[in-house]
């Protein structure tokens, strides 16, 4: 699938991803500084925070309580916040636009 990434500087990047990959892995491969992904996708660090374009919100997997709690620890949470390690690149998300959240 194709991903549209917006950096914290407002730059647009584009990437191709396989179904087996998480959005976090794609962002990490792009060397996006804010995506430290310290826990490696184990849902325990919240350093993979992104804002998902609302047009894709209803195609995302539901948020687990752990993700919700971790996002609450961020000063930059918005209604569009998700942890990118919990978003897998399935076909329904082709073209998804994610904006990198600032680091806490």
User: Over the range 4-28, which residues count as b (16 or more CB within 10 Å of their CB) and which as e?
Assistant: ebbeeeeeeeebebeeebbbbbbbb
Tell me, residue by residue from 30 to 59, as one string, x for binding to ligand FES by CB under 6 A and - for no binding.
Answer: -------xxx-x-xxxxxx-----------
Query: In this chain, which residue has its C-beta nearest to ligand FES?
Result: 85
Q: Shortest CA distance to 82 belongs to which of 103, 100, 55, 104?
A: 100
What are the tokens at 68? 């919700």
- Tell me the closest approach of the beta carbon of residue 81 to ligand FES, in angstroms: 12
C-beta closer to ligand FES: residue 1 or 85: 85
- Tell me the closest approach of the beta carbon of residue 61 to ligand FES, in angstroms: 14
Binding residues vs ligand FES (CB under 6 A): 24, 37-39, 41, 43-48, 83, 85
């Amino acid at each position: 699938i194709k991903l549209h990434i917006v950096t914290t500087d407002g730059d647009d990047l584009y990437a191709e991803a396989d179904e087996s990959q998480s959005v976090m892995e794609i962002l990490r491969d792009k060397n996006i500084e804010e995506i430290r992904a310290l826990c490696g996708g184990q849902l325990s660090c919240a350093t993979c925070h992104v804002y998902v374009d609302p047009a894709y919100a209803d195609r995302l997997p539901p948020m687990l309580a752990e993700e919700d709690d971790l996002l609450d620890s961020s000063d930059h949470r918005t209604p569009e916040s998700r942890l990118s390690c919990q978003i897998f690149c399935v076909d329904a998300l082709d073209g998804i636009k994610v904006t990198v959240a600032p680091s806490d």
